[in-house]
Amino acid sequence: MKILLNNNDLNEALYGHTNIGFVPTMGSLHKGHISLIRRSLRECNKTIVSIFINPTQFNNKKDYENYPKNNKGDLLILEKLNVNFVFLPKKKDIYKFRNSKKILLKKKDKILCAKYRKGHFEGVIDVMNRLTKMINPKKIFMGEKDFQQLFLVKRYIEKKYRSKIIPCKTIRDKNNAALSSRNLRLSKKDLNIVGNIARNLISFKKRLKKTNNLNKLLLNKKKELIKLYNIEIEYLESRDKFNLKISNKFTNSKIFIAYFFKKIRLIDNF
Ligand code: AMP
């Protein structure tokens, strides 16, 4: 495994390779990341994993500063997986050129997390644009756990580059809590509660097949979750999984939730 610390290392290492799989991460790797990496190793000749905590996608400075870091542990995991390259860029490596056009979300995209995290997805799309330009991968593996991120990045990148974004299923722990680097900030007991919330929504979704009054059910479910688990819910919505428009139907829809539990913001979809 080659560790690439700057753009020179990157260009040298990738020269001549055409079938590159890319897994962008912010580190503190868990089984969710590992599933993306394994898929890339299966489908591509060379796999590169980036670890970069991108400052421009944090709308809260404290959140950026407190984001978990574990480079040593991450490198051990990547070495064991037999990843070809790990890219550990500095801010100056990524932000060395100015964009010709400022990345702005359209009004219709300012929904779900975009409504509550101002500038977040602009930062994500910007860094993904830069990384894709630098790496020129054939495939980029991203998790459905961050469904709106996957949706917006796929639309932007596939319009501009030949790289394909490959959606990968959400990996959960044995209690059904979606794995997330942010879970490191929760106790075992708290994580059980996160699992209970996920299970509650999974069974809710299963029961929806017969309903045509989804909005009212969601409103009641929101009240119930707040009372049961003492959480603050930003949104609980049903949306079409292909265009993210509000959906009242069961078919092709997903339930999206963002909530604060013990001051940690968590998102999931079912
Ligand atoms: P992050 O390090 O949080 O920026 O995540 C890097 C990539 O891993 C993103 O494409 C995420 O969607 C994906 N990811 C994070 N958690 C999970 C999970 N539990 N299951 C599948 N993919 C995940």
Atom number of ligand 1 nearest to Cα 28: 2
Q: How far is CA 106 from each of CA 103, 130, 151, 198, 207, rounded to the nearest angstrom?
A: 10, 20, 14, 30, 34
- Provide the Cα torsion 161, 162, 163, 166; round to 10°: 110
User: Do residues 231 and 193 lie in contact, with contact meaning Cβ atoms separated by under 8 Å?
Assistant: no
In this prediction, residue 249 carries a pLDDT of 83
Residue 120 known to be catalytic: no
Ligand 1 neighbours by CB, cut-off 6 Å:
25-26, 32-33, 35-36, 142-143, 145-146, 168, 170-171, 178-181
Beta bridge partners of 87: 4, 50
CA of 204 to the centre of ligand 1 (A): 24
What's the residue count for the chain?
Answer: 270
Contact predicate 51/88, CB 8 Å: yes
Asked if 217 and 208 count as a contact pair (C-beta separation under 8 A), the reply is yes
Q: In 9-83, at which residue ranges do the beta strands (DSSP E only) sit?
A: 20-25, 46-51
For the chain (length 270 residues), average pLDDT per consecutive 10? Answer: 98 96 97 98 98 94 91 98 98 89 94 96 97 98 98 98 98 97 93 98 90 87 97 97 92 95 95
For residue 25, how far is its CA from the centre of ligand 1 (angstroms)? 7
Token look-up 């932000």 returns 95
Domains and CATH numbers, the chain: 2-168 (3.40.50.620), 181-269 (3.30.1300.10)
Distance separating alpha carbons of residues 44 and 173, to the nearest angstrom: 27
**242 Cα–ligand 1 center, Å:** 20
